[in-house]
Amino acid sequence: MAEPANHRSLRGQLLLYVLPPMLLLWGVNFYWAYHSLHDAVTRAHDRTLLISARMIGDRVRLEGERIRVDVPYVALDPVELDTPGRIYYQVLDDQGYFVSGFDDFPAPPQNRERTAFYPALVSFRDVTYLGEPLRVAAFYQPVVSVDGVGKIALVQVGETLQARQSLFNELLTGALWQQGLLVLSGVLMVLLAVYAALRPLSELQRTLSARARAGKRRRIDPAGVPTEVRPLATELNNYIKRLDALHQRQRRFLADASHQLRTPLAVVMARVEHALEQSDSQQWHDALTDTRNTTRATIRLTNQLLTLARADRGGEIDREGWQPVDLNALGRRVCLAHSAAAVAKRIDLGFEESPHDAHINGDMTLIHEMLANLVDNAVRYTPGGGVVTLRVLGSEAGVVHVEVEDDGPGIPEEKRMRVFERFYRLHPEDTKGSGIGLGIVRDVLKLHDGSVQLADGANGQGLRVCVTLPRH
């Protein structure tokens, strides 16, 4: 069964890419070496045959009309004595009559081409004689008598193949050993190169493991790693940075939640215990009413904390799941949801719809929570009988403006930047809100590439919150 691609070793992948081409090159080189050695051995032994044929040809003479020859023993020495195998020879006159040697020696074929190395002197061929394969050199020797009569004698010398095969095998074996050692050296060098190339990754892994065991997440110095690994080190640093930010946000959320929820839960518990000690039904009723109100405020605070944690991405934006949001329709629903609280305080809660396109691309839940916090703050802090207006203003410049305006007490200009801080209250004794509503607005707008500004309301009274978002 094949190993999954994601479990393959990088070292194995590199070897898979390098070793097969090396083996292929070794095979091609061996093929060339085989033929080159064969040609070289054949040429060397053919030259030896030619030398023997020349030595015999030098002893050919013309006596009258007959060709005679005295074959010197040394003519057979180069092959017969120094190397294994046998040598055969034959001398014929220009009429094809036998002069000396082996009379049944195979005759050369008619019109045989001369060898490219000695075209005017000799031709070489392979034959079978007495059941053995031979290599034969056919040499034509001119013979001239003292009377000026000239004839041509044919001298043939044949050699069995044991000698040249032995030399060829010896040379081929040596070449195989040399090439084998060369390939083995190449494989070892490739292994060392792969090890050296992957060593920075191993060191990087050991560094990260050591830091993890030590409970540290320090950044990796990109200058201390090779150029090819530097992008990986940079991305690891970015990942560590995002991980640190995530852990920091988690710790902050846990700290905020524990700090903000501990007090109302303690109040509820104390109120219930006090009510259980009483026998008056009116006191029970008052305790249950207080518990209900505190529980409602705690639920709202919890929802706001969860929304704040969801909106606080630490600069990371995940737009998966975003969708077009119609601010006209969303603003209308937010006003309807807060209409009961506005009626209870005799507040005129109005909504002004934009006649232009008011669609943005974003997270529907977060955008809804942002508008709800703005309207809730306006209704909560506007005195009874006041006016709160949510208006959506389309734009031709690729943005959508949303305004929430009230005629309440407003926010002093020198404190307008601080109200976006978490749990900041203009008046510390104020218990109407949680102090994170505008923090949610800031984080949601940051996530959606938007902005917010605080300004005075109409006629310099109240507060006008101006939100700008990019149009879809």
Residue 23 confidence (pLDDT)? 83
> Is residue 192 a part of any domain in this protein?
no
Mark whether 302 and 358 lie in a shared domain: no
CB atoms within 10 A of CB 150: 11
Same domain, 146 and 74: yes
Task: Express each pLDDT in 365-383 by its tens digit.
Answer: 888 888 888 898 889 889 9
Same domain, 229 and 160: no
Say which residue, 371 or 267, is predicted with more confidence. Answer: 371
Q: Are residues 34 and 107 in the same domain?
A: yes
Domain presence at residue 58 = yes
Based on the fold, state whether residues 270 and 304 are members of the same structural domain.
yes
pLDDT, residue 227, reads 74
Domain that holds residue 302: 224-311
Q: Is the pLDDT of residue 120 over 60?
A: no
pLDDT of residue 320: 67
pLDDT computed for residue 301 by the predictor: 63
Residue type at 31 in one-letter notation: Y
24 within some domain? yes
Answer with the one of 142, 170, 198 that is the final residue of a domain.
170
Residue 152: how many CB atoms within 10 A of its CB?
13
CB of 183 closer than 8 Å to CB of 23: yes
pLDDT in tens, 22-63: 888 888 888 898 889 889 888 888 888 888 888 888 888 887
pLDDT band at 350; cut points 50, 70, 90: very high
**Same-domain status, 292 and 360:** no
pLDDT digits (tens, 9 = 90+) for 418-449: 777 765 665 555 555 555 667 777 878 888 88
Q: Are residues 108 and 149 in the same domain?
A: yes
- Does some domain include residue 428? yes
Q: What is the CATH number of the domain that holds 343?
A: 3.30.565.10
CATH number, residue 284: 1.10.287.130
The number of domains in the chain is: 3
| Domain-located, residue 202 | no
Report yes or no on 180 lying in a domain.
no
Look at residue 6 and tell me if it is in a domain. no
Both 412 and 283 in a single domain? Answer: no
**Are residue 350 and residue 302 in the same domain, yes or no?**
no
* DSSP letters for 23-90: HHHHHHHHHHHHHHHHHHHHHHHHHHHHHHHHHHHHTEEEETTEEEE---GGGGHHHHTTSSS-EEEE
pLDDT digits (tens, 9 = 90+) for 183-192: 888 888 888 8
Same structural domain, 286 and 166: no
